[in-house]
């Protein structure tokens, strides 16, 4: 039976007289890919030209660079907000080192920040099971409680900027958790397209995608418990994108404690790959769809971020992403899948 998912690639060739080769003709290849779900495109070019830049993370501890951090030491108990009475009796939610507080700069009706650690700077190597588990657990617990209080708000999002190249304003590790009716254009487009796919095929796109990717292996990375990890066919990041899907988990109430542990275990494997490949910064998200639907399972995505260089700190986002709203990647997803897969096999 023909696949319900079409992976479309347009190959592009440019020929020019190359100054690096005595002005002999050179042909350079690039690709445009069409996302099988949304129809959005992504460009792939300049292969291998952008390398993640080394970040001296210890420098963020130097007093003149560190400056004031509201999440450090006892300050977090005095300068971060508290929930008003009636929302959470406790004012703030805590678990181990993780502390969840309202966002001082809220994005939506329910908007919170999880301060993940006591330490101001935490390398990827030092995000142990407990730190990650406590943070995710606390944030997800918050979103479940919010869902109980305001069931009409359909979507829940975790978002995480790690280290300055990601655009994060504070180095101190923190995640954001919010419930919303407007989860952003990417999710909204995926959500609408997934509903259409389900209506057309009576199967959810993501389950079908996992099956398809597992068969072909190129972009399939591995399974950890209930979670399947893949390199995305169209990458949102310059250095590629990895997603993790929880088939059958259609709303936040269905997201179990065991699945939080599966997620943490997979995230640590990705961190191992990042560590060995000089990746020091990322954006990540975790998204849950509305209760009652059967077409959009929970999924996590993670995108490395870097400066193009540390001479003038050019960011890895330019006119493509900002005004054309078009992702560009210098890494082919099939190569990324091959590179990350061993981290999901070895212990």
Q: Is 144 in the site for Zn ion (CB under 5 A)?
A: no
- Looking at 62-70, 95-103, 138-146, 155-163, which segment touches Zn ion (CB under 5 A)? 62-70
**Residue 30 is inside which H or E element, if any?**
strand 24-34
Q: Is 69 in the site for Zn ion (CB under 5 A)?
A: yes
- Looking at 7-15, 135-143, 169-177, 300-308, which segment touches Zn ion (CB under 5 A)? 169-177
Q: Which of 7, 43, 44, 71 binds Zn ion (CB under 5 A)?
A: 71
Nearer residue to Zn ion within complex by CB, 41 or 118: 118
Integer distance in angstroms from the first to the last C-alpha of the chain? 37
Alpha-carbon distances, residue 320 vs 45, 154, 304 (angstroms): 12, 31, 17
Alpha helices in the chain (DSSP H): 63-66, 76-79, 129-149, 185-201, 205-216, 257-276, 319-322, 333-345
Q: Is 72 in the site for Zn ion (CB under 5 A)?
A: yes
Nearer residue to Zn ion within complex by CB, 131 or 172: 172
Measured between alpha carbons, how far is 313 from 14 in angstroms, rounded to an integer? 29
Q: How far is the CB of 168 from Zn ion (least distance, A)?
A: 12
Q: Which of 172, 219, 269, 301 binds Zn ion (CB under 5 A)?
A: 172
Q: Is 162 in the site for Zn ion (CB under 5 A)?
A: no
Measured between alpha carbons, how far is 187 from 297 in angstroms, rounded to an integer? 12
- Looking at 65-73, 129-137, 145-153, 291-299, which segment touches Zn ion (CB under 5 A)? 65-73
Measured between alpha carbons, how far is 332 from 30 in angstroms, rounded to an integer? 10
Q: How far is the CB of 300 from Zn ion (least distance, A)?
A: 25
Q: Which x/- pattern over 117-136 shows residues binding Zn ion (rule: CB under 5 A)? A: ---x----------------
List the one residue out of 152, 159, 184, 180 whose CA is nearest residue 38.
184
Contact set for Zn ion, span 85-124 (CB under 5 A): 120
Contacts of 67 by beta carbon, 8 Å cutoff, 6+ apart: none
Q: Is 147 in the site for Zn ion (CB under 5 A)?
A: no
Measured between alpha carbons, how far is 167 from 305 in angstroms, rounded to an integer? 9
Contact set for Zn ion, span 328-347 (CB under 5 A): none
- Looking at 72-80, 179-187, 286-294, 326-334, which segment touches Zn ion (CB under 5 A)? 72-80
- Looking at 3-11, 144-152, 168-176, 306-314, which segment touches Zn ion (CB under 5 A)? 168-176
b/e per residue, 283-310, with b = 16+ CB within 10 A? bbbbbbbbeebebbbbbbbbbbbbbbee
Measured between alpha carbons, how far is 117 from 155 in angstroms, rounded to an integer? 26
Report the 10 Å Cβ neighbour count for 177.
Answer: 26
Measured between alpha carbons, how far is 95 from 116 in angstroms, rounded to an integer? 10
Q: How far is the CB of 116 from Zn ion (least distance, A)?
A: 11
Contact set for Zn ion, span 197-256 (CB under 5 A): none
Nearer residue to Zn ion within complex by CB, 92 or 120: 120
- Looking at 40-48, 63-71, 220-228, 279-287, which segment touches Zn ion (CB under 5 A)? 63-71
Nearer residue to Zn ion within complex by CB, 79 or 109: 79
Q: Is 34 in the site for Zn ion (CB under 5 A)?
A: no
Q: Assess contact for 260 and 133: CB atoms under 8 A.
A: yes
Nearer residue to Zn ion within complex by CB, 71 or 133: 71
Sign, Cα dihedral of 61, 66, 70, 73:
positive
Specify which residues 180 forms β-bridges with: 155
Q: Which positions lie near Zn ion, rule CB under 5 A?
A: 69, 71-72, 120, 172
């Amino acid at each position: 039976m023909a696949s319900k998912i079409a992976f479309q690639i347009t190959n592009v060739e440019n020929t020019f007289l190359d100054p690096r080769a005595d002005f002999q003709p050179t042909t350079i290849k690039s690709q445009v890919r069409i996302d099988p779900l949304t129809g959005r495109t992504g460009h792939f070019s300049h292969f291998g030209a952008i390398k993640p830049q080394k970040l001296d993370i210890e420098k963020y501890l130097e007093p003149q660079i560190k400056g004031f951090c509201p999440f450090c030491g006892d300050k977090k108990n005095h300068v971060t907000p508290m929930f008003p009475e009636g929302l959470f009796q406790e004012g703030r939610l805590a678990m181990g080192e993780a502390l969840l507080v309202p966002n001082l700069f809220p994005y939506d009706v329910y908007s919170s920040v999880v301060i993940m650690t006591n330490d101001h700077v935490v390398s990827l190597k030092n995000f142990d099971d407990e730190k990650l588990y406590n943070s995710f657990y606390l944030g997800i617990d918050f979103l479940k409680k919010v869902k109980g209080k305001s069931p009409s708000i359909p979507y829940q999002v975790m978002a995480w900027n790690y280290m300055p190249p990601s655009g994060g304003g504070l180095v101190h590790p923190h995640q954001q958790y919010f419930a919303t009716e407007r989860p952003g254009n990417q999710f909204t487009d995926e959500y609408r397209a997934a509903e259409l796919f389900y209506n057309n095929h009576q199967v959810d796109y993501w389950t079908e995608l996992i099956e398809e990717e597992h068969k072909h292996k190129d972009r399939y990375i591995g399974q950890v418990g209930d979670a399947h990890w893949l390199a995305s066919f169209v990458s949102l990041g310059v250095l590629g994108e990895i997603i993790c899907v929880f088939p059958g988990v259609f709303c936040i109430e269905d997201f179990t404690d065991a699945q939080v542990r599966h997620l943490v275990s997979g995230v640590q494997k990705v961190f191992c790959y990042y560590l060995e490949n000089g990746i020091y910064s990322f954006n990540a998200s975790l998204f849950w769809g509305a209760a009652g639907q059967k077409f959009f399972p929970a999924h996590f995505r993670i995108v490395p971020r870097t400066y193009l260089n540390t001479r003038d700190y050019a960011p890895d986002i330019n006119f493509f992403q900002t005004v054309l709203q078009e992702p560009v990647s210098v890494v082919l997803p099939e190569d990324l899948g091959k590179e990350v897969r061993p981290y999901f096999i070895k212990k």
